[in-house]
Structure 1
């Protein structure tokens, strides 16, 4: 191939959500993009895999590291540890689409805006999150999702409803600078709720861990309030729920959609080839990078390199200052996360919402047969739900962090008919147990709480995978002018923030790349080299998918 065919404005290493969004935006802006991934699938650490692929993914990372392994393989083995999984194989394994990084999408936020602005929303399907519940005193209790649910709740007294409504009104507005918040900005959010709004402990737990999605009891007040405000403002945009769940595994499918947009606009994709070397150009008159791939004779060159931390080789890190572009840069590293992916027979059974229960008359006034019918009406089958276990809610569970369970049924297209998937996440610091030992109590409690009993035996999972994910450390930001490498930041571990933070990171990367590469637009023959927006207005040709 000629130099013009192998030289790109930017080469992007890794097809995680951040890298995929950046690739789509840069391609649409007119830059020549090559997007590479050593994996044979899209999505990186946020990929959606079939059951066969998931088992292979786990076995590869659980194996001993080859001394001559690539930087990517060594990084992955260090990042994912304590891996164990069931050994029996389920039928129809290729009908599963299982997410390595489960997440939900706020109805208002950066990702939704990018899905619409880029046109990627046309490539996938989405379901409303039907329930959010908290495990308290051995029971699953729905968290009110709107004012109507608060007023109709039978678990709250009139005084408690008034206090809760007062807090929700406070959190949904411009609370910055309000007297209630003054001096409490960094105080634990749970204590703020108790002292300023006189809420009882079970309500505090529901707000702290199921509405604000706090991780630890010590989580500060202001970030938690901002998450609740977004929760409240997102309600009603697409339905009663403030969140959407992506079909076919969620984040991985969405990442592939952005890669599709990049390819439609000229992006070149090479997956499944080992990256043998990434080196800085030794030319004195031109800065740039050279990438050599396995089984590809020609080397690829670029002016700018964008990479996830997994793909930057140690020798390049020692000679080039990587640039981390994120509002989280320089902060303490996020905690590790113990994760479980479990498959079980459906359906998912949850308590009915207060508005549904209001249509059912009191059981006390009915006969025995009618009472049984009324009891069944207090529960309903759902397709998507979140169950939160506050710290200390299980005797054998964590006393210091909250576990979150995302449940998806067959309507999310993530498994065969009749099968459901539970994604369990537990933030951990310095774990002294295996991921399986940490999460087994939550898996058993989840199955006992949300599945129908079909026999005298206890409910059990058909397949389960446990692993510990340790995020890379976050270095301090450096001047972009000192380097032509952009190292992307890992997204947040919080369920409702993961994809939004990936989108914000991608936009930051995009604008820094535009500043560095703007001359390439003029050299490429574009009369106007000004890039005015992250996503330009959609045009008719955006519908053309020829060449994908």
Structure 2
């Protein structure tokens, strides 16, 4: 909507302890954390919905969102500069009475090589019945830090989860093998031989004993310090585990991203210590909640519900929310270069000594020449710490990847699809029972790390060609469906969106920009980095003080999703 035709409401008050721009998951957690300590928080978003790059969108909205963030925003250069006195704004709470300058704020492209394909004309009519994640594939481990944070903050009261039915690994012969999540599951698995079961059971017993000793009194460890520092794959070789078992442990339980068999040149070598910690997370997640028997859970209505849950928690604590409110410029102290507030689309100036910006915002260059030299240099250095890319895919199909399985995770280890494949490809299927698609359909998410779009698209297409057959009028009429390597009927591919997303780590000084969604399966790294940002802004405050919401329900469940319309006005 054109700014000139939309009447923006005035915001009152105009001064806050924290202003947050964007309602992605990191921004929403920060707003909720600050509100829980009694800070006054203003949370803005130019979109009419919550979630930003962590949203779950209807089918019709997804392509336009990806395309709008895959090209630079149109801006008028050089940057507009206006000098005014803080006293003119009647701002008595700011630390300095120095003059402020306004520096334009715009958005930058974070997606590229967007590729949309549709093989079913009927899908568009069902658009509003889809909730498609921008960050997929993504799950939560029942015992991970994101779940602990939701329980501690009370955000779990606003979202409901369901169990992921199973995890599978593509073995060297192209067949999907079930991933055992406990010692009892090992001996029930008919795909494993007796010798394999014994070795895997003994290994799990060793890990459990090691963790128990370390967690109790720090006594003698069953796994030596030398082994903990060596590559995990070498430790598994030392344990004489078969190739199939090693692959299950490394790629389907420890979730390694890169080929661990070629340590020379491997971008991220998984050490034994981290591998053991990931096994511990997996093991402790199994059966933690009565309504989630496995290790993995997924939110009903999609991952976008997590951002909304923290926004609702923040609103209960007094955070002020204003959607459809673009931020046009930052207010910067001319002497120190620190951010003092924002200028919104209505022209109103809003003030705060702390500001958080979503990951797609940027200061356009070149800046106005009238800025002081030191400020020019300081603002010129502002950018994203881009550390690679992740290729993502979203597919819609009308049948399951595995018979009688609605929700599942499938891992394709390096070299399982083609010889040059150096990264794992993770595939998550979500069924209609989680309210993300119409009945009888499934949403399938894919992702893999990549150096560039060519490598990323090659991996995604290799997985898609293995998993799906493209639905045509002929195949629908004749029911002549293609079969996969393990004899399963390949689902028809009805619609797909492939895109490359940059992995930006954000920055804190002089302004706080949050991270883009990372390439991990869960949110642990994102939660840790968000907590670090909060502690830098408010070093004297606790990150979510303990509340009555910090306990599990009496039945050991995450809790229902109560009706709460406090954010919908």
Query: Normalization by structure 1: what TM-score?
Result: 0.78
Structure 1 pair 438/220, CA: closer, same or farther in 2 (3 Å)? Answer: closer
Structure 1 pair 174/305, CA: closer, same or farther in 2 (3 Å)? Answer: farther
- Shift of the alpha carbon at 1:72? 7.1
After superposition, give the CA deviation of every residue in 1:233-276 in whole Å (9 maximum; x if it has no partner): 111112431111111112x1110111112122221222333321
Which residue is 2:117 aligned to?
86
Structure 1 pair 72/94, CA: closer, same or farther in 2 (3 Å)? Answer: farther
Q: How does 1:140-219 map to 2 (within 5 A)?
A: 140-174=176-210, 178=221, 180-194=223-237, 196-218=238-260, 219=269
After superposition, give the CA deviation of every residue in 1:91-141 in whole Å (9 maximum; x if it has no partner): 210111000112111111222122222222121221111100001112111
Which residue is 1:535 aligned to?
545
CA distance in 1, matches of 2:545, 2:61: 33
Q: How does 1:55-74 map to 2 (within 5 A)?
A: 55-63=63-71, 66=74, 68=76, 74=107
- Shift of the alpha carbon at 1:391? 1.0
CA distance in 2, matches of 1:31, 1:323: 27
Which residue is 1:507 aligned to?
531
Q: What SS class does the counterpart of residue 204 from structure 2 fall into?
A: helix
CA distance in 1, matches of 2:312, 2:420: 41
Aligned residue-pair number: 478
Query: Is 1:310 the counterpart of 2:346 in the alignment?
Result: no
8 Å CA contact retained: 1:322, 1:487: no
- Shift of the alpha carbon at 1:178? 4.2
Which residue is 1:255 aligned to?
307
Which residue is 1:290 aligned to?
341
Which residue is 1:382 aligned to?
405
- Shift of the alpha carbon at 1:349? 4.9
CA distance in 2, matches of 1:44, 1:313: 19
Structure 1 pair 50/333, CA: closer, same or farther in 2 (3 Å)? Answer: same
After superposition, give the CA deviation of every residue in 1:489-532 in whole Å (9 maximum; x if it has no partner): 44542103xx22222233233333323xx7xxxxxxxxxxxx55
8 Å CA contact retained: 2:506, 2:512: no
Which residue is 2:154 aligned to?
119
CA distance in 2, matches of 1:56, 1:181: 53
Unaligned runs of 5+ in 1: 351-379, 519-530
- Shift of the alpha carbon at 1:231? 0.4
CA distance in 1, matches of 2:323, 2:193: 58
CA distance in 2, matches of 1:487, 1:31: 20
Farther-moved stretch of structure 1 (215-224 vs 199-208): 215-224
CA distance in 1, matches of 2:259, 2:233: 7
Which residue is 1:335 aligned to?
388
Structure 1 pair 147/58, CA: closer, same or farther in 2 (3 Å)? Answer: same
Unaligned runs of 5+ in 2: 1-8, 80-103, 215-219, 261-268, 368-374, 470-474, 483-490, 550-561
Farther-moved stretch of structure 1 (25-34 vs 302-311): 302-311
8 Å CA contact retained: 1:390, 1:403: yes
Which protein has the bigger helix share?
A: 1
Query: Normalization by structure 2: what TM-score?
Result: 0.76
Q: How does 1:2-21 map to 2 (within 5 A)?
A: 5-21=13-29
Structure 1 pair 321/432, CA: closer, same or farther in 2 (3 Å)? Answer: closer
8 Å CA contact retained: 2:117, 2:495: yes
Which residue is 2:320 aligned to?
268
8 Å CA contact retained: 2:447, 2:519: no
